[in-house]
Amino acid sequence: MTETRFTKMEARVLDLLQRNAGQIVTRTFFLENVWGYKSGVKSRTLDVHISKLRAKLAIDPNLRIRAVVGLGYRLERGQPIQSFPAEDSSNGRRKFAGVASMLG
């Protein structure tokens, strides 16, 4: 089984998407709730994290992060998603064994 590692921020972004699977999560909501930015801040940090998450989630064809132009992102899945394990490793990164098994 392949182990996929997510940074803390990647895990937080993925957790928000997971908890709102099938629904649009706005850029503003991500920036305020993951990074603590004030409303109106323009940042590409979310796009960078989404890009990295897409690459890591590519091992599971049932999961897809879709951009909703002008609004935000939506997690689409073919199977139910389970909650994330709360395990943090000592090096500040969350460790997950197999994204497919972790997410459903």
Tell me whether residue 27 is in a domain.
yes
Q: Assess if residue 19 is contained within a domain.
A: yes
**Position 18 in a domain:** yes
Give me the pLDDT at residue 1, please.
52
Taken as a whole, the chain contains a residue count of 104
Give me the CATH number covering residue 33.
1.10.10.10
Separation of first and last alpha carbons in the chain: 15
pLDDT at 79: 56
In a domain? residue 86:
no
Range of the domain at 10: 3-79+94-103
- Cβ 13 vs Cβ 49: under 8 Å: yes
Q: Does residue 87 belong to any structural domain of this protein?
A: no
pLDDT at 12: 95
Q: Which residues of the chain have pLDDT under 50?
A: 80-81, 83-104
